[in-house]
Structure 1
Amino acid sequence: MERWPALELAGTIRHDGDGGVADDLATTEDATRWIRGQDGLLPAHIGAGELTADEDLKRQIVELRRAVRALFARAVSPAPPSPADAHRLMPAEQALAHLNATAARELIAPQLEWRHEAPPAVRLLTAQDDPHGALLAALSRAAIDFLSGPQREQLRACTAPRCVRYFVKSHGRQEWCKTSCGNRARAARHYRRHRVASEDDSALG
């Protein structure tokens, strides 16, 4: 399954398995673990696998996540957004401004490398000596690429009970982010139908 850094960032708010919501960026240790898990998804010059989050970086990633999730909510509209933060979304214009300003924190230039008998490859050249700023800028650029690309039209908020994830629909009738959510949603529908039927029988009796 394809992974997008923007979706990975939005997905750091998730169902905790017990009816609540977990935050994968809750502590600096959590944030460090998440950043290092993005190594390979982000440009190599970021060195995500070696970065360590401090409180300021964690706060800035969380604020960027707020902007991304607000724009995801806009992207899925008029369908409802994820219930995790639907009641406290950052205003869309503020989210746009924040995303664009963060993306501009690092100026980069693509460089073409074409070694002997190897296919051409792109290397990003940067004068930035701020690995935390470079990380935030890369996450912002990834969100811009995602929201301006074709996958935006397939973005959905999972409608399964208790799920708070956004996902990219991979086939025409997909309603849920994963099979377990589909099973839970079908079970909930079955329960509601039988409860209504029981209530109707009781009323007739």
Structure 2
Amino acid sequence: MRDTIDSDTRLALDLALTVRHDGHGGVADDLGDLAGLTAWVREHTETLPDAPDLVLDERALAAVRDLRAAVRALFAHAVRPGDPSPADAARLLPVPEAVARLNAAAARTPTVPVLHWTDGAEPVVHRQPAAPGTDLTAVLAQAAIAFLSGADRRRLRACHAPRCVRYFLKDHPRQEWCKPSCGNRARVARHHERHRRQGEGP
């Protein structure tokens, strides 16, 4: 099992996982309001180093929710031929629209080239934000692009345990569920379904 997940992968997954099972048979949205977005950003200060400078308002909330819809659509595309998460399987954005939305969000933070040249080494250019006040949507979009274009994308799966709507990274070949409790629920559901069919008889 892999112990560490890079920050881009963690951000992309955590954004998608703000849509979750509510514990009562429905789907909850952790980004349902501005307070939810603010709480989510505070929980991610390690992966969002510019969190104190981010502007969090209703416009930012709408932009992040639009981005999340694109990310979840691309997650659904990435897990094919497997089924997507049931949370939004019936209302996924078309892939070209999701890609365009992701790229547009990633472009919201202009960057500038910065030269680094130490003695005895070749010059190296890094890109950094052109000005303070990082755009949250751009940071999340860039993290999603890094994840979707990287090797970890091949481990992405949708959990199909009863009532679960999560995506997860498969850590070992036999892993089917996002967590052990989902595996237990799935086994119990299969057991009940077998007994129900046997009770119906021929």
Cα drift, residue 108 of structure 1: 2.9
Of 11-20 and 102-111, deviating more is 102-111
Cα drift, residue 135 of structure 1: 1.5
Residue in structure 2 matched with residue 163 of structure 1 by the alignment: 164
Residue in structure 2 matched with residue 102 of structure 1 by the alignment: 105
| Maintained 8 Å contact 1:32/1:52 | no
Matched residue count: 189
Amino acid of the residue matched to residue 68 of structure 1?
A: V
Q: Provide TM-score, normalisation by structure 2.
A: 0.86
| Maintained 8 Å contact 2:54/2:133 | no
Residue 179 (1) aligns with residue 185 (2): no
- Counterparts of residues 113-124 of structure 1 (less than 5 Å): none
Identity %: 54
Distance 1:181 1:127, change over 3 A: same
Residue in structure 2 matched with residue 150 of structure 1 by the alignment: 151
Q: Provide TM-score, normalisation by structure 1.
A: 0.85
What CA distance in whole angstroms lies between the structure 2 residues aligned with 1:105 and 1:51? 13
| Maintained 8 Å contact 2:78/2:153 | yes
Residue in structure 2 matched with residue 15 of structure 1 by the alignment: 21
What CA distance in whole angstroms lies between the structure 1 residues aligned with 2:196 and 2:105? 50
Instruction: Please state whether the residue corresponding to 1:167 is helix, strand or coil.
Output: strand
- Counterparts of residues 50-61 of structure 1 (less than 5 Å): 51=54, 53-61=56-64
Residue 73 (1) aligns with residue 76 (2): yes
Instruction: Please state whether the residue corresponding to 2:172 is helix, strand or coil.
Output: coil
What CA distance in whole angstroms lies between the structure 2 residues aligned with 1:50 and 1:139? 15
Amino acid of the residue matched to residue 141 of structure 2?
A: S
- Output one character per residue of 1:143-196: Cα deviation in whole Å (capped at 9) or x when no partner: 001001111111000010010000010110111101110110000001111111
Please, which of 38, 46, 61 is the counterpart of residue 44 of structure 2?
A: 38
If asked which structure has higher relative contact order (CA below 8 Å, sep 6+), I would say 2
Residue in structure 2 matched with residue 64 of structure 1 by the alignment: 67
